[in-house]
Amino acid sequence: MTSETTPTCPVDARGRHDGGQPRRDFCGQLATGLGGIALASLLDRDDCLARPASHNPHLLARARRCIHIFSPGGVSHVDTFDYKPALERLDGQRLTGKGKVDTFFGKIGVLRRSFYRFQQHGESGSWVSSLLPHLATCADDLTYFHALTTKSSSHTPACFQMNTGYTQTGFPSLGSWLSYGLGSLADQLPTFVVLPDPRGRPNGGSSNWSQGFLPARHQGTALATDGKSEPIANLATPSSVSAEQRRAGLTLLARFNDSFARSNPGNDELVARARSYELAARMQTSIPEAVSLSGETRATQKLYGLDNKRIKSSAANFLLARRLLERGVRFVQIYNGGALGSPRINWDAHEDLVRNHDNQAPLLDQPCAALLKDLKQRGMLDDTLVVWSSEFGRTPFTQGENGKGRDHHPLVFTAWMAGGGLRRGHHHGASDELGYRPVQHPTSVYDFHATWLHLLGIDHTRLTYYHNGLNRRLTDVHGHVIRDVLA
């Protein structure tokens, strides 16, 4: 072998470096070890490497981040965004001409006009009830879906379908699908953050933001929002541990992890766990800074309602959502309603709709309107998708002969979106004259989700994950993009 062809690194006849480790093993371990993973992460963050296929948007994204405001309990569409003058005329009469009427509790009462006065707002002339005066000022920024239908009249399965696409537990939530499909926008914070109602979690609890069968790193990170607990339990470094000790501990841990990875090539579980701990370490500084609202101006805090004792805790969630988006969180889910079964802390209005909705609406109305206005004035609404929904609506008739409440109604209800890529002030679909069934463009939750993903640059038929012999997806085998709402 001549000097011109002699390798710079000494290699013996068996292809070993310095007569030791095989060259192929050495290169493989260099590429797959924790050092290589860290390098790849840095290069990927700076767009020096091609992004994984699952992180490449299929379409031109209209929005790059999202907030979902979920109001569990069943918000009455005929008392909020779906004005029905016919109910004024037929108030107190029986429902007729609709075929067999199925109710959740089986106590069919009489038709009842809206408990609130409706008025048209904005250039779009959108009807919004007096229950939501602040959101009414945002009428022209909303895109309304008036013909949504869902598969279940029971809270938990319907909540699961709105959040995961399925009525059973065990499936990935929409936020987890977005984390899996689009990846992170930040190194210091989780991709998917959940802000539960300070008064309690919804029926089904964390199953509503579970990663299901997707890798564990895609699960939603729920922050404590009661104002008393640490945002994330056990995150803070003990005061007895100095910065030098902490660095030494992390260095030692990294050595152990690296040694294990070299001995067990291809073990993804360790890599995933190491990444989660690395993120946790970074969050020790990023989370306290993100959740601190003290740096916000007094005008901003007042806009959201932090000066109002009644709505302060809810207002903090909406303001925090904006701060998280600013810092690179991809998807934030705000829960506007706590544990089901207690009408005092959710929208479940069986016995007295006025008492229930009057109690819940202020916690949504001002903070949500403030969020929309704040995003808009900061130029963030153009590339942010904001979605509001409940799991179903409420019947146009009362629950029981002399009832003051309304029953569950999955046959038709209203939701809205706002932000990038949407026709603002536009109304898609319609319910009948009573708000009982859809009569124009019936929209399934699958269609709603397909459109949601489309706005974020994802073809819902191509975002899949192989599980138990099937290529699973958020929309199962259903769903169509609602192109009528696209700008």
> What residue ranges do the domains of the chain occupy?
48-485
Tell the burial category of 185 from Cβ atoms under 10 Å away from its Cβ (0-12, 13-18, 19+): middle
Q: Which residues of 188-217 are buried (b: 16+ CB within 10 A; e: fewer)?
A: bbbbbbbbbbbbbbbbbeebbbbbbebeeb
Would the pLDDT of 286 be above 90?
Answer: no
* pLDDT band for position 292 (cuts 50, 70, 90): confident
When pLDDT is averaged across residues 209-213 and rounded to a whole number, the result is 96
**95 to each of 23, 123, 392, how far by Cα in Å?**
80, 34, 20
pLDDT digits (tens, 9 = 90+) for 442-472: 999 999 999 999 999 999 999 999 999 999 9
Q: Which two tokens stand for residue 284?
A: 């020790």
Lowest-pLDDT choice from 66-80, 180-194, 247-261, 345-359: 247-261
* pLDDT(103) > 50: yes
Please tell me the predicted confidence (pLDDT) of residue 341: 53
Structure tokens at 451: 């459109």
Taking CA atoms, 219 is separated from 29, 179, 290, 393, 412, in Å, by 29, 8, 20, 28, 30
Predicted pLDDT at 238: 59
Residue range 303-345, pLDDT digits in tens: 999 999 999 999 999 999 999 999 999 999 999 997 655 657 8
Q: How confident is the model at residue 77 (pLDDT cuts 50, 70, 90)?
A: very high
Cα–Cα distance for residue pair 246/236, rounded to 1 Å: 12
User: What is the structure's pLDDT at 279?
Assistant: 67
Averaged pLDDT for residues 210-217:
93
Residue 350, classed as helix, strand or coil, is coil
Note the Cα 154 to chain centre separation in Å: 21
Cα 94 from Cα 258, distance rounded (Å): 72
Range of weakest confidence among 238-247, 254-263, 268-277, 423-432: 268-277
CATH code: domain 48-485 is 3.40.720
**Rounded Cα–Cα distance for residues 16 and 11 (Å):** 5
Q: Which of 150-154, 279-283, 450-454 has the lowest mean pLDDT?
A: 279-283
Mean of the per-residue pLDDT values of the chain: 85
Specify the pLDDT at position 32.
44
pLDDT digit string, tens, across residues 18-71: 444 554 554 444 444 444 444 344 434 433 333 344 466 788 899 999 999 999
Which pLDDT tens digit goes with each residue over 473-483?
999 999 999 99
Q: Are 414 and 149 in contact (CB under 8 A)?
A: no
Residue % of the chain over a pLDDT of 70: 81
pLDDT at 26: 43
Report the pLDDT value the prediction gives residue 42, as an integer from 0 to 100.
Answer: 41
- Pick the range with the lowest mean pLDDT from 28-32, 68-72, 264-268, 385-389: 28-32
Q: Label residue 265 by pLDDT band (50, 70, 90).
A: confident
DSSP 86: H
Residue 310 near residue 367 (C-beta atoms within 8 A): no
d(CA 223, CA 311): 18
Note if the pTM is more than 0.85. no
One-letter amino acid identity for 340? L
3-state secondary structure (DSSP) of residue 471:
strand
Distance CA 410, CA 149 (A): 6
Residue 275 has pLDDT above 90, yes or no: no
CA 271/CA 468 separation, integer angstroms? 23
